[in-house]
Amino acid sequence: MFEGVSAGFAAAFSIANIGYLIVGCSAGTLIGMIPGLGPMTAIALMIPLASTLEPASGIILMAAVYYGAIFGGSTSSILINAPGVASTVASSFDGFPLSQQGHAGKALAVAALSSFSGGIIAALMLLVSAPLLANLALSFHSSDYFALIVLGLVSVAAFTGRGELRKALLMTILGLMLSTVGTDQTQGIPRFTLGLVDLIDGISFLLLVMATFAISEALLAIMDPARGRPDQDTKKLTSLKVSKKELKDITPPVLRSSLSGFFVGLLPGAGATIASFLAYGTEQRFANKEARDQFGRGSLRGLAAPESANNAAATGSFVPMLTLGIPGSGTTAIMLGALIAYGIQPGPMLYISEPVVFWAVIVSMWLGNTVLLVLNLPLIPYIARLLTVPRTALLPMILFFSLIGVYLVSFNTFDIFLMTLFAFCAVLLRTCGFPMAPLILGFIMGGMIEENLRRALLLYDDSWSFIWERPSTGTILLLAFAVLVWPGVQSLRERLKAQ
Amino acid sequence: MYVKKLLVGLFCVSTFAAFAKECTPGTLDNTHFLIPGGAGGGWDRTARGVGEALVRSNILDLATYENMSGGGGARAIAHLIETGAPRTLMVNSTPIVVRSLQGVFPQTFRDLTPVASVIGDYSVIAVRSQSRYEDLHGLLSDLGNNPRGIPVAGGSVSGGTDHIFAALIARGAGVDARAVKYIPYDAGGKAMAGLLSGEVAALSSGFGEVVDLVHQGWVRLLCIASSSRLPDLPELPTCKEAGAPEALFVNWRGFFAAPSVPGETICAWQQMLADLQTTREWEEVRERYGWVELHHEGPDFMALLTEQEHTLRRLLNELELIE
């Protein structure tokens, strides 16, 4: 094993490879910052270049682009509330309020540090246990996935409560409803398309999130010039300083979220999105009352948890890809294609048959994360300065990039009209105090819940018996139930104590 | 009089056929590829991969691309027919046949000019390596006794290609297509994870998608839907030999043009795609994505489409997914 590790390090530590790392991280960050262009696009763009390189260099380049794009995506979700990919939605819950309070630099620094820790911890776990973990990744059935996603949904649905429980619930249901528009994933029959050809493929996540987050935010800011105007104090805005107490505060959430994120990432049917929501929800539960109230209003813990979880999950998703050749996401599918093009057969024996490549991949994860941190920390003040751009320039820019980003994915003008419609509805709803996060959450989880539940029902001949016949399903559902009723029990106990 | 007309007709048909075979290709220096789906999908990769190999091997000077998603390909087809674009090739695959039959869009491949198919993937039936099914006969006899007890996974929706193939296999056991317990997953990789987790008994998929796991020993193939055995895997029987005589199925990807495009342009494209087959650049692209060559052009391609449509119509009817 140590021979392999050292060969991997030797392969990764050449001047050329460090160069590819730097190029990849910068290109990835830039591409990821543009709403609509995520890790998948970034890697796809790099493939022609990577295919001309040695396998180890090519993989290092792609891994660097991958991590860069994930970090870049968090940047746009923190600064302008425009999460371009589903796995960074949870980062905007607290990241955006932080930057609105003028702490953009600090928020970006915490995001970078948490991503770094998540990536490093997950790569370490990959190193010690990849072949063993392959079996764990394959032990999940459809009913277990269903239960896991329900857990993700309830653990976050609770946070939006805070007095507006009914509104949050209504928005979750609206999100679930929107997710049913388009071709039914099980039967292949179009539903709720109003006879419109353009709705047959459903509503895209990007369109909905850009309309309800980025565009509605920009429109609200136009309507109310004083709204959420960050402190123009450039020194505070660009300051990266995270106090010792704050660091101590976010360390346990980062550790917990990295672990849970890695394990959720292992499952080919779950991935970084569920990992980030679960981490956010869990941390909110773990926090004491005072810290819990901070969630959603600019809590550093609320930012650190999903950031470390999504990076750890991205690393975890390499396990089924490298050991089984099963891609859990679009991004790993593209990476898998590139590996096969190099003549590398993924498999449980990969670390024996192709030690240099295997270890180069793992070493490149460490290097990619490190280079990313080193490159980005000094850049953060400049990135944060984006917010000092006068609003008359910034708001049109946000509108422009959101519209272009959505159009560039589908090349369908219908999407732009639909997006405008959603944006106006969102403005209306937000002025009436309806939160948008539960809507997106319901929308993302809706499709996954439906698909897995229906598959489980098909397998069990339309009976719900999997809930008690499969212990894992039952346990996770019980946990979800506990999470749902816990706040009620807690307040009841407090009331009884008070009496 | 009638006989004369018939003779003239026959003459015309035969000369046309002769021309179709050895037509005179027009000149082509650029081609615009119309992709009915978004960036990064299977259609996108096929068009861009073919374009890349054509340009790099100097067969074509310029390849341009346009993504036009919407309606499972409906928008692109309508656009192609409406504009009659003279330099545009649209990429498509087996779903064009399925979706026409299901009425997702009003057109069929007959409203377009099929140019050629370039790659294909034969369907296979796979089981876990620890499964008790050593060959197709074992699976078929269990299917015959209790079809509801044998869930079969696939990476497409109900009525999609993997479901159709599972139904074709079940016919070998004398089981009604509707009795097959088909479990749909939203991608081939997830269907494979489902098979390996043991929640289903068998997997209906494409050979290219499962071949790596076969070599690693995770799964075993029971049969392949080609008409003869593959040279790479001579010990794998065809489904026809193994007891499912109707199970012949290939997932092709190929190109179509607007109906108004003149014959010499079509011919030039066919020449272009035929030239492509022998290039090293195309071999590289195919290797990169793990694609299997499946080159049919003109009448040959049309015959493949017609036959596939016939099979699919019958099965979708039996599955009561179309009327």
Q: Same structural domain for residues B264 and B160?
A: no
Q: CA-CA distance, A129 to A133, in Å (whole number)?
A: 6
Q: Which amino acid would we find at residue B294?
A: L
Map out the domains of chain A as residue ranges: 2-498
Q: Same structural domain for residues B45 and B98?
A: yes
Total number of domains constituting chain B: 2
Q: Could you tell me the two tokens for A485?
A: 């009723």
Q: Same structural domain for residues B256 and B234?
A: no
- State pLDDT tens for residues A96-144: 999 888 888 899 999 999 999 998 999 888 877 766 777 777 888 999 9
pTM assigned to the model: 0.81
Q: Cβ neighbours of residue B263 under 8 Å, at least 6 residues apart?
A: B19, B20, B23
* Inter-chain touch B38–A349, beta carbons under 8 Å: no
Which of B225, B242, B259 is the endpoint of a domain? B242
B4: in domain: no
Which of B223, B242, B261 is the endpoint of a domain? B242
Q: Could you tell me the two tokens for A482?
A: 């506990």
pLDDT at residue A228 greater than cutoff 60: no
What pLDDT does residue B77 have?
A: 92
Select the residue of B75, B184, B288 nearest A341 (Cβ to Cβ): B288
Average pLDDT estimate for B280-287: 88
Q: Same structural domain for residues B238 and B160?
A: yes
Q: Same structural domain for residues B112 and B129?
A: no
Q: Same structural domain for residues B163 and B237?
A: yes
C-alpha dihedral (B59, A334, A449, B196), degrees to nearest 10: 110
Q: Same structural domain for residues B199 and B233?
A: yes
Q: Could you tell me the two tokens for A278?
A: 């679960």
Which range scores top for mean pLDDT: A287-291, B3-7, B197-201?
B197-201
Q: Same structural domain for residues B99 and B182?
A: no
Average pLDDT, chain A: 83
Average pLDDT estimate for A38-63: 78
Residue B283 CB-half CA count within 13 A: 3
* Inter-chain touch B185–A325, beta carbons under 8 Å: no
Strand stretches in chain B, DSSP E? 30-35, 62-67, 88-93, 113-128, 151-154, 181-184, 202-206, 219-224, 250-257, 292-297
B221: in domain: yes
Q: Which amino acid would we find at residue B171?
A: R
Which range scores top for mean pLDDT: A58-72, A110-124, A214-228, A285-299?
A110-124
Q: Which residue of A has its CA nearest to B199?
A: A141
CATH of the domain at B92: 3.40.190.150
B55: in domain: yes
B236: in domain: yes
- Beta carbons of A357 and A55 less than 8 angstroms apart: yes
A330 in contact with chain B, both atoms CB, cutoff 8 A: yes
Q: Same structural domain for residues B158 and B231?
A: yes
Of B216 and B256, more confident: B256
The band of B11, judged by pLDDT with boundaries at 50, 70 and 90, is very low
Select the residue of A51, A185, A201 nearest B157 (Cβ to Cβ): A185
Q: CA-CA distance, B227 to B193, in Å (whole number)?
A: 28
Residue B256, domain extent: 31-120+251-318
Q: Same structural domain for residues B152 and B230?
A: yes
Three-class SS state of A72: helix
Q: Which of A397-401, B141-145, B181-185, B195-199 has the lowest mean pLDDT?
A: A397-401
What pLDDT does residue A353 have?
A: 66
B157: in domain: yes
* Inter-chain touch B189–A461, beta carbons under 8 Å: no
Expressed in angstroms, the distance from the first to the final Cα of chain A is 63
Q: Which residue of A has its CA nearest to B184?
A: A186
B283: in domain: yes
| DSSP letter, residue B147 | G
> Which of B45, B183, B203, B281 is the best mutation test for A, with the most CBs of A within 10 A?
B183
Most distant pair of Cα atoms in chain B: their distance: 71
Q: Same structural domain for residues B114 and B73?
A: yes
* Inter-chain touch A187–B197, beta carbons under 8 Å: no
Select the residue of B160, B183, B216 nearest A347 (Cβ to Cβ): B216
Mind telling me how many Å the CA of A203 is from chain B's nearest CA?
A: 11
Q: Same structural domain for residues B196 and B289?
A: no
The band of B3, judged by pLDDT with boundaries at 50, 70 and 90, is very low
CATH of the domain at B134: 3.40.190.10
Mind telling me how many Å the CA of A410 is from chain B's nearest CA?
A: 5
- State pLDDT tens for residues A164-188: 677 888 888 999 999 999 888 787 7
Which of B199, B220, B242 is the endpoint of a domain? B242
B89: in domain: yes
Mind telling me how many Å the CA of B187 is from chain A's nearest CA?
A: 10
- State pLDDT tens for residues A414-458: 999 999 999 999 999 989 888 888 888 889 888 888 989 999 999
Angle at A229 between CA A224 and CA A233, to 5 degrees: 155
What pLDDT does residue B21 have?
A: 47
